[in-house]
Amino acid sequence: MTIPPSIYEYIDRNSNSFIQRLAKAVAIPSVSGDAAYRQHVLAMAKFLVTELESLGVNVKTTELGTQNLDGQELPLPPAILGTLGSDPKKKTILLYAHYDVQPALVTDGWDTDPFVLTPDPKTGRLYGRGATDDKGPLLGWINVLEAHVKLGVELPVNLKFCFEGMEESGSEGLDDLIKAEAGPGKYFHGVDAVCISDNYWLNDRTPCLTYGLRGLSYFGIVVAGPARDLHSGVFGNMVHEPMTDLVTLLSKLVKPSGEILIPGLDELVAPLTEEEKARYDVLDYSIADVEQSVGAAVALSSDKATALMGRMRYPSLSIHGIEGAFYGTGAKTVIPAKVTGKFSIRLVPNMTPDNIRDLVVNYIKEEFKKLGSKNKLEVIDLHGGKPWVADPNHWNYVAARKATEAIYKKTPDYTREGGSIPVTLTFAEALGVNVLLLPMGRGDDGAHSTNEKLDTSNYIEGTKLLGTYLWEVAAAA
């Protein structure tokens, strides 16, 4: 069973229409982590419901409760659940994607308005927040559905959809929904495998299939002292300054070399075998790829395998920012009364948010005691997710490999990814099925960064890839 060539032809003929669909989605600033944007996240959900229903999908929006964000009690964005087909002779594939995005402002350093999809005719790149993470891949599935529906071609598999609007903010509420709907007679019952397109190639030339993800634990260090912000000319060298304490604490977390300084974390990392080490040696990747992706020669190692293992199979600790501190232009001589430093740890087997939490919190408290400060300390565990590893020899991955070879004429690399998609493990554990990560975008797309982009070729050929994957699944033993 192979995909009809007419599907490819339809996708090519309608590429401009598909780009316009992506432009409409990017124009909705569905930032989940800012209360001021919640209305736009809800608008994005309505946009997707309309698109799916127009193609015959039976859609159900499921409310996930409320959250307190920026001092406001807000409704969580709904989970969009959809069903298309119920033929017992066909496999049933669950498709997951997310419709929320990271924050983005022109003043962050964007060359264009982040919420206006901006094509670059010279490079074929489509710039915009969410273009590659994750609106482009999500709409790729809708493009595939449109091609089949408009051509009157029956889908080779049954489809279920789960699109969420809180992935960038910890997938709040989704785990409980998946577990509640996993039993006999429930929504997820009967799913044979899961496909997620929310990751990226290692570089800009070789497709990959991803069978592992790092987990995440995100923390805040709050240091507070004075009742209000102070003038440094009046109170400098007279009081304990929260910013000084915080910067000192942040410096105790990780070395410039990337070495994590928190005792006990290294002991939780699963040992590296020679077989696993060999996988990194053969991947199509180089230090030049690192430098191209980040735009500077700042790689921690000159060895390819070492660099890849730092991204894929070892933990990392990154410091993200300081809330409450002066950061504008000019020279404001303020002593902040309260500051919050934010950092995260990317987790690998056998680390979990639960088994590292006390190690992190207790270490920071001990380091704070050493300062002799009269300020107050609070360590907040903001959110987290466990790491995940799947079987890359499963028929789900075989189908994806064949689809990749059909579209790109290359055998994909098999990778573990450095990022986190917490719901991946939830699907695997709650449903007891194989989960595949099938990327659309390239390694230099800049997800979460300024000037995020998706190459037009990846969007259109990636749509073909997703469609071909469904046909290869149907043909799999």
Give which of 314, 345, 343, 317 is closest to 416, Cα–Cα: 314
Cβ pair 194, 91 in contact under 8 A: no
pLDDT of residue 128: 98
The pLDDT tens digits of the residues spanning 270-288 come to: 999 888 888 899 899 999 9
First CA to last CA distance, the chain: 12
pLDDT digits (tens, 9 = 90+) for 321-363: 999 999 989 999 999 999 999 999 999 999 999 999 999 999 9
| pLDDT tens figures, 2-22 | 999 999 999 999 999 999 999
Where is 148: in which H helix or E strand? helix 136-151
pLDDT at 379: 98
Mean pLDDT of 369-385: 96
Count the neighbouring beta carbons within 10 Å of the beta carbon of residue 367: 19
Q: Which pLDDT belongs to residue 250?
A: 98
- Across the chain, mean pLDDT equals 96
- Token pair, residue 405, equals 């070879």
Q: What local confidence, expressed as pLDDT, does residue 477 receive?
A: 74
- Burial class (CB within 10 angstroms; exposed 0-12, middle 13-18, buried 19+) of 331: exposed
Residue 34 to residue 81: CA distance in whole angstroms:
24
Contacts by 285-293 with C-beta closer than 8 Å and gap 24+? 285/202, 285/203, 285/413, 289/202, 289/203, 289/204, 289/443, 292/203, 292/204, 292/444, 293/203, 293/443, 293/444
Do 424 and 388 touch, CB atoms closer than 8 A?
Answer: yes
The radius of gyration of the chain from alpha carbons, rounded to an integer in Å, stands at 23
* Spatial distance between the Cα atoms of 34 and 50, rounded to a whole number of angstroms: 25
Catalytic: which of 167, 172, 245, 367?
167
Active-site entry in 51, 100, 172, 198: 100
Mean pLDDT confidence for 446-470: 97
Per-residue pLDDT reduced to its tens digit, 223-245? 999 999 999 999 999 999 999 99
- Residue type (1 letter), 142: I
Cβ contacts of 11 within 8 Å, gap of 6 or more: 18, 143, 147, 460, 463, 464, 467
Tens-place pLDDT, residues 403-436: 999 999 999 999 998 887 878 999 999 999 999 9
| 167: annotated active-site residue | yes
Instruction: State whether residue 137 is helix, strand or coil.
Output: helix
Q: Percent of the chain having pLDDT more than 70?
A: 100
Which residue in this structure is represented by tokens 């124009």? 27
Please confirm, yes or no, whether 429 is among the known catalytic residues.
Answer: no
Q: Is 79 left (phi over 0), alpha (psi -120 to 50) or beta?
A: beta
pTM comes to: 0.82
b/e code 62-82 from CB counts within 10 Å (16+ = b)? bebeebebeeeeeebbbbbbb
Q: What is the pLDDT of residues 127-185, one digit of tens each?
A: 999 999 999 999 999 999 999 999 999 999 999 999 999 999 989 999 999 999 999 99
d(CA 368, CA 375): 10
Q: Which of 51-65, 83-97, 200-214 has the lowest mean pLDDT?
A: 200-214
pLDDT in tens, 291-331: 987 889 999 999 999 999 999 999 999 999 999 999 989 99
Q: What is the mean pLDDT of residues 121-131?
A: 98
Are 390 and 435 contacting, i.e. CB atoms less than 8 angstroms apart?
yes
